[in-house]
Chains A and B, each alone.
Chain A
């Protein structure tokens, strides 16, 4: 059975992924933090009750996904996004103000494109292209089969390509 130290190491390692995924869905740092803490709490509770899980990371992400969906349903709050907050953190190389502005615009544009996709497609693309999960892991997290993950991923990517090319050619 996993002890507290190894659990803490595991959950701290997973925290960035949980946080990013929750933030991408909830758009609020505090809510994302709440989800991360709740996931940790639930997993540890399960472990203490002797419920071992072969894919603990997938279970953690799946719990985060379910908590996010619950929160979204409860609050129905999808207003705005925190691309600004993310961008401040990411543009640290020396660039001209114009490039920074263009990159911020593009970042916000892509973020907005993803946010406008159906929820299942959003989660697929974030879990694959941002978090780097394998298709079977995504299927496990989203509680669906690998085929529908592939379909959702393909649809999401094609939709984004279409919109980006349209924007680029304007």
Chain B
């Protein structure tokens, strides 16, 4: 290896910028730029090689615990929380105590839990029944009239 002097360094720098230096030569360059006294025009390279050394010296933080990889494919890993949420909901609905309503009645075969709704349905049924009764009484009146007319016709034929 060539002795490190300024001329060598300048030649190495040229080759470095052409991408022609070996790793050993680049280490030589890096070591040269750690020294305190440098020619003014070479000072910028100290910052550059210092940057590379600092980057290379950076050590990552401690290894964090491994992710759970047992699920395998990403889709399954994404679905896992949804599945868990669904399971919780199912358990909730399956295990919750039955709710006892404070009001219950049966109208026309239907179960009704709400008092107001029951009254409303009852009113409707009542109105329907009244309408039917009115219709029936009207028909009865007509039948009565028909009977009267029939009697008159029978009397007339008999004469």
* A101–B60 alpha-carbon span in the complex (Å): 23
Contact-size category for B: 20 to 34
Whether the Cβ atoms of A154 and B17 lie closer than 8 Å is yes
Across the interface, name the chain A residue whose C-beta is closest to B27: A132
Question: Total A-B residue pairs with C-beta atoms closer than 8 Å?
Answer: 77
Across the interface, name the chain B residue whose C-beta is closest to A23: B60
| A142 in contact (CB, < 8 A) | no
Whether the Cβ atoms of A153 and B54 lie closer than 8 Å is no
* A129–B55 alpha-carbon span in the complex (Å): 9
| A134 in contact (CB, < 8 A) | yes
* A114–B43 alpha-carbon span in the complex (Å): 19
Interface size on A, residues (CB 8 A): 43
User: Known: A16-B60, A20-B58. Contact between A107 and B51, CB under 8 A?
Assistant: yes
Residues of the A chain whose Cβ atoms lie less than 8 Å from the Cβ of B44 = 164-165, 167-168
Residues of the B chain whose Cβ atoms lie less than 8 Å from the Cβ of A149 = 19
Q: List 20 A-B contacts (CB under 8 A).
A: A20-B55, A24-B55, A36-B60, A90-B54, A106-B47, A106-B50, A107-B50, A129-B26, A130-B52, A130-B56, A131-B56, A150-B20, A153-B19, A154-B18, A154-B19, A157-B19, A160-B48, A164-B47, A165-B44, A167-B44
Residue positions of B touching A, CB distance < 8 A: 16-20, 23, 26, 43-45, 47-48, 50-52, 54-61, 63-64, 66-67, 69
Residue positions of A touching B, CB distance < 8 A: 12, 15-16, 19-20, 23-24, 29, 32-33, 36-37, 41, 86-87, 89-90, 103, 106-107, 110-111, 126, 128-132, 134-135, 149-151, 153-154, 157-158, 160-161, 164-165, 167-168
